[in-house]
Amino acid sequence: MDPSVADVAYLGIIDYLVLGALFIFSLLIGVFFAWKDRNKDTDEFLMGGRNLSPFPVMLSLIASFLSSITVLGWPAEVYYKGSQLWITLLSCYTEIFLTSEIILPIFYKLNLTSVNRYLSERFGSPALRIIVSIISCIATFPWLGVVLYGPSLALGAVTGLSVTASILLCGIICTIYTSLGGLKAVIWTDVLQYILMVLGIVVVIIKGTIDVGGVSEVWRKADLGGRLRLFDSKIDFHNSHNQWVVLVGTTLVWTAGLSTSQTLLQRTLSMPTLKKAKMVVYLALPGFQSMQILVTTLGLVAFAYYYDCDPLRTNKIQASDQLIPYFVADLFSSRYPGIPGLFVACVFSSTLSTLSSAFNAIAAIIWDDWLQSCFPKASSTTQVMITKIIAALSGILCIGVAFVASQAGTLFEASYSLSGSPLGPAFAVFILGIFTTFCNGPGMIIGYIIGQISCVWIVIGGLIIKRPHLVLEVTTEGCPANMTIDNPGLPLSQLHDYIIPEYVPEGLSKIYHVSHFIIPTIGFLITLVTGIIFSLLTGSNKGKCVNRDLVLPCLWKYCCPLTDHRKCNQSNKKRQSMTNRKVSEKMTECIPLKS
């Protein structure tokens, strides 16, 4: 490896053809489904007609779950903070089981478009549904801005293209095909983009491993650099890289995302049967884990490549988020036409898949929760046009937010802070609805608002009062002698024993500087506790009963009597045969217990 490679490589004609093919095919898929389903209703546009095949939906689920943060931010975290993130492999088992065996069976029988409708049916509170819907939509855009900002780093590192140009290119194309083709276009473009993601990462790992000297050499150099401490059992909520903080944080965020987030749950609810919906979730498990292994390996290969001459210390890059794009440019340079373009397409694919899923989910939430009742007599064509306009406006707003996303810290930290903050409190509300019968609407509204305010307070405080960026040390001991280096780092012999310094904040920083993994957990616990307390203070559900279909079977004895439950079931069957508009107007309520 020669660290003196030019700072910026360039994309050749073949590279641009590869990148252009991604955009062209994505647009064509959107146009195709816009023409194919031109006379269909909103259920077709938002839910794919609820008759999709498991395999493409499974690939779409994996692709939507992964974003530019995964491709760019995760390997950089491994490079500069170690491979403790491997323990997230264990998080997947909890999220898959809870989603498929507990939450999905309850949601699926309700024939939902917006997952928030469960809240109004379970708690008898349309206000709770609207509040959760509004906050989740508002909170989604800062995270999407970070996701869209990510690939601009990749293009800037390998082409010099401006951040503005790359944000506009990616955002506009994604907005067009999503607003044209709906969920089917999102799913099939995800399939294409998933293939490109895997192919791009695998090619880089193989070439990097060969250049370093093989798998054993990658492992040896990563160990010499202190990147292979796989277990750190110390409990420290201000340290983002001990196994308990990582495990707890990722388990909660990923379980909440897969089981109650509209963006991901919309995929499984679009399946024709519950059995196939579960199949999609279980098939996605090896996909989630394989991608985590790939991006972790990518970080280790990059470290082995630069283990004695760090590009950040030599000013080859200006921020850790630029590491992987620079590594690819350095690795392939101009000798392998098409490969840099493939990796840029890989990064764009990871972004497009996440954005398109979110735009479609936002359209589903806004239409089903807010607007459907406002247009009770609108034709199917008008309804579909409204949802397409919502998706397009979501894309435009996301582009605007992306221009300020660089202020949120590293991509990886920003992702968990911005996406996890709204997920934690919302997940607590759904969990209380499913696992209890005494929690009521007023208690949930108060608990949810308190939980959200707490998360927002911590995130904003962390943005205002910056925490020190503590990482593992690097070295420039192997750099060329003629290279000017202001901060050479540690001698190579000391890297193995170096650990990230313990950080002990003072004052309000003890709250503002908790790990980005912990912020969603704080919101979840605050909402859980306050929701229970205020439900009890406001009378629980005295004089009312809960529909058995909306809670765990083990709680049925605390719900409606059997006769009332049968009436609820009859009403549910009628509801499932109604159109989405009628469902919105007539939500099932159980008959109160007679005194």
Q: Tell me: the pLDDT tens digits for 507-547? A: 888 888 888 888 889 999 999 999 999 999 998 877 777 88
Q: Cβ(5)–Cβ(317) under 8 Å?
A: no
Structure tokens at 298: 């990518």
Q: How many CB atoms lie within 10 A of CB 176?
A: 20
* pLDDT confidence bin for 443, thresholds 50/70/90: very high
Give the per-residue pLDDT at 317: 82
For residue 593, pLDDT over 50 is answered with: no
Give the per-residue pLDDT at 425: 93
Single-letter amino acid, residue 203: V
Q: Is 235 left (phi over 0), alpha (psi -120 to 50) or beta?
A: beta
For residue 38, pLDDT over 70 is answered with: no
Q: CA 243, CA 90: separation in Å to the nearest integer? A: 11
Which range of 95-99, 335-339, 478-482, 554-558 scores highest in mean pLDDT? It is: 95-99
Q: How much is the average pLDDT of 231-235?
A: 75
Q: What is the CA radius of gyration of the chain?
A: 25
For residue 60, pLDDT over 60 is answered with: yes
For residue 431, pLDDT over 90 is answered with: yes
Under 8 Å CB-to-CB from 482, ≥6 apart: which residues? none
For residue 578, pLDDT over 60 is answered with: no
Give the per-residue pLDDT at 127: 92
For residue 229, pLDDT over 50 is answered with: yes
Share of the chain above pLDDT 70, in %: 87
How do the domains of the chain map onto residue ranges? 22-542
Decide which of 479 and 139 is more confident: 479
Q: How much is the average pLDDT of 273-288?
A: 91
Structure tokens at 67: 């974003």
Which range of 62-66, 112-116, 341-345 scores highest in mean pLDDT? It is: 112-116
Q: How far is CA 201 from CA 14, 278, 287, 367, in A?
A: 18, 28, 14, 37
| Weakest mean pLDDT among 112-121, 178-187, 289-298, 521-530 | 178-187
Q: How much is the average pLDDT of 238-259?
A: 84
In the CATH scheme, what is the code of domain 22-542?
A: 1.20.1730.10
Give the per-residue pLDDT at 234: 77
Single-letter amino acid, residue 535: S
Longest dimension (CA), the chain: 89
Q: CA 178, CA 186: separation in Å to the nearest integer? A: 6
| Weakest mean pLDDT among 98-112, 145-159, 408-422, 439-453 | 408-422
Structure tokens at 417: 């802070």
Under 8 Å CB-to-CB from 286, ≥6 apart: which residues? none
Give the per-residue pLDDT at 209: 95
For residue 416, pLDDT over 60 is answered with: no
The 3-class SS string of 325-345 reads: HHHHHHHHCCCCCCHHHHHHH
Question: What is the tens place of the pLDDT at every residue in 114-166?
Answer: 899 999 999 988 999 999 998 888 878 877 887 787 777 666 656 666 778 88
Give the per-residue pLDDT at 282: 93
What are the backbone angles phi and psi of residue 555, rounded to the nearest 5°?
Answer: -100, 5
Single-letter amino acid, residue 202: V
Structure tokens at 48: 């794919």
Residue 376's Cβ-count burial label (10 Å; 0-12, 13-18, 19+) is exposed
Structure tokens at 293: 């292994």
Sequence-separated contacts (24+) of 215-220 with Cβ below 8 Å: 217/304, 218/300, 218/301, 218/304, 219/300
* pLDDT confidence bin for 565, thresholds 50/70/90: very low
Question: What is the tens place of the pLDDT at every residue in 538-554?
Answer: 988 777 778 888 999 88
Q: CA 520, CA 380: separation in Å to the nearest integer? A: 39
| Weakest mean pLDDT among 110-114, 123-127, 376-380, 590-594 | 590-594
| Weakest mean pLDDT among 196-200, 347-351, 392-396, 439-443 | 347-351
Q: How much is the average pLDDT of 307-313?
A: 89
Give the per-residue pLDDT at 411: 54
Decide which of 134 and 85 is more confident: 134
Give the per-residue pLDDT at 583: 39
Q: How much is the average pLDDT of 185-212?
A: 90
What are the backbone angles phi and psi of residue 122, rounded to the nearest 5°?
Answer: -70, -45
Q: Cβ(206)–Cβ(343) under 8 Å?
A: no
Structure tokens at 421: 């903050």
Decide which of 584 and 408 is more confident: 408
For residue 563, pLDDT over 50 is answered with: no
Mean pLDDT of the residues in the chain = 82
Q: Cβ(192)–Cβ(178) under 8 Å?
A: no
Decide which of 210 and 468 is more confident: 210
Structure tokens at 16: 């641009």
Q: How much is the average pLDDT of 452-461?
A: 88
Q: How much is the average pLDDT of 412-417?
A: 57
Sequence-separated contacts (24+) of 486-489 with Cβ below 8 Å: 487/313, 488/313, 489/310, 489/313
Q: CA 346, CA 352: separation in Å to the nearest integer? A: 10
Per DSSP, 505 falls in state -
Structure tokens at 245: 């903080």
Q: At what angle do helices 54-65 and 262-269 cross, to 10 degrees?
A: 170
Q: How many CB atoms lie within 10 A of CB 62?
A: 23
Angle, alpha carbons 43-49-50 (nearest 5°): 110
For residue 256, pLDDT over 80 is answered with: yes
Q: Cβ(118)–Cβ(107) under 8 Å?
A: yes
Q: CA 472, CA 483: separation in Å to the nearest integer? A: 23
Distance between start and end Cα atoms, the chain: 81
Q: How many CB atoms lie within 10 A of CB 529?
A: 14
Q: CA 384, CA 368: separation in Å to the nearest integer? A: 12
Q: CA 70, CA 287: separation in Å to the nearest integer? A: 14
Give the per-residue pLDDT at 556: 84
Which range of 430-434, 556-560, 581-585 scores highest in mean pLDDT? It is: 430-434
Decide which of 484 and 101 is more confident: 101
Give the per-residue pLDDT at 587: 38
Q: Cβ(474)–Cβ(496) under 8 Å?
A: no
Q: Cβ(372)–Cβ(363) under 8 Å?
A: no
For residue 367, pLDDT over 90 is answered with: no
What are the backbone angles phi and psi of residue 489, rounded to the nearest 5°?
Answer: 80, -165
Q: How much is the average pLDDT of 322-330?
A: 85
Q: CA 36, CA 459: separation in Å to the nearest integer? A: 44
